[in-house]
Amino acid sequence: MQKNKNVVELIDITLSFQHRNVLADLSVHFESGKVTALLGKSGSGKSTLLQLINGMIIPDRGKVKIFDTFFDYQQATKLRLQIGYVVQNVGLFPHLTISKNISLLGQISKQSAKSMNERTHFLMDTVGLSHDYLDKYPHQLSGGEQQRVGLCRALFLKPPLLLMDEPFASLDYSTRTGIYNYFKILQETEPCSVIIVTHQFDEAEILADNFVWLENGKIKAQGNKSDFSSIKTDYLAAL
Ligand SMILES: Nc1ncnc2c1ncn2[C@@H]1O[C@H](COP(=O)(O)OP(=O)(O)OP(=O)(O)O)[C@@H](O)[C@H]1O
């Protein structure tokens, strides 16, 4: 049987917050195995869209299809184990060591200590984090290092889908560009489908295969690597 070419499909989605339409009859799909940048200015609905995909928000109308199956909200917690989620301010637990933060989902899914250690070490090596950090706490690491820990945590269970909500926005330019390389290495080592929300056009051009540009909850433009240049001027002017 042929694998579906889309990891996520949103079909005729309508969503309002306090009687205000945020998304209206939105249909969009995200290709399997690709990195898709979700672009758009503040308030255009990007974070809402990610939360619709991981079932944290249920649409008023329309359907969310993920891994070729309609989202089963009764199974949301289980489904979310297959969806990595990285947010801007990392969300590491301050009272847990780096090793415990990274292996959190391994503990929840009752993995053995040996397999959790191996996975933690592998991920830290891949993103260039020294094992000296294993027993340190998040506040002892720089912002860029914390963001890499967040990436390791999200990828711990090898999720087929990774959602990233402005993961690098709080980092300075050189730290950001350094992390892009680690992100690319991870994509080569363990490829997965990624949807990354960003305001940075350069970030989208560097990291993504495809893009979806949202404006007021509607698709303004959509395309692949060769189409980035055609929207650049309009996109930067619209921000
Ligand atoms: N829980 C909520 N209650 C009410 N309104 C909300 C809620 N979440 C989002 N909104 C509104 O929905 C719209 C879309 O918000 P969303 O956070 O998805 O935008 P965004 O494109 O991710 O913005 P940003 O780039 O600033 O994060 C905004 O107008 C926002 O104020």
- The closest of 227, 185, 184 to 39, measured between CA atoms, is 227
Q: From residue 89, give the alpha-carbon distance in Å to each of 39, 144, 147.
A: 19, 11, 8
- Sequence-distant (≥ 6) Cβ neighbours of residue 93 within 8 angstroms: 100, 101, 104, 138
- pLDDT, one tens digit for every residue, the chain (239 residues): 445 699 999 999 999 998 888 998 999 999 999 999 999 998 899 999 999 999 999 999 999 999 999 999 999 988 988 999 888 766 889 999 999 999 999 998 899 999 999 999 999 998 889 999 999 999 999 888 898 899 899 899 999 999 999 888 877 888 888 889 888 988 998 999 999 999 889 999 999 999 999 998 899 999 999 999 999 999 998 88
Where along the chain do its domains lie? 6-238
Judge if the beta carbon of residue 217 lies within 6 A of ligand 1: no
What does DSSP say about strands 161-165 and 83-87: parallel, antiparallel, or unpaired? Answer: parallel
Contact 101, 91 (CB under 8 A): no
Length of the chain measured in residues: 239
Judge if the beta carbon of residue 56 lies within 6 A of ligand 1: no
Q: Which atom of ligand 1 is nearest to the CA of 51?
A: 18
Kindly provide the ipTM of the predicted complex, given to two decimals: 0.95
Contact 156, 82 (CB under 8 A): no
Mutate to test the pocket of ligand 1, among 28, 48, 203, 215 (most ligand atoms within 8 A of CB): 48
- The answer regarding whether domain 6-238 maps to CATH 3.30.930.10 reads no
- Sequence-distant (≥ 6) Cβ neighbours of residue 4 within 8 angstroms: 32, 68
What is the C-alpha to C-alpha distance for residues 156 and 192, in angstroms, rounded to an integer? 12
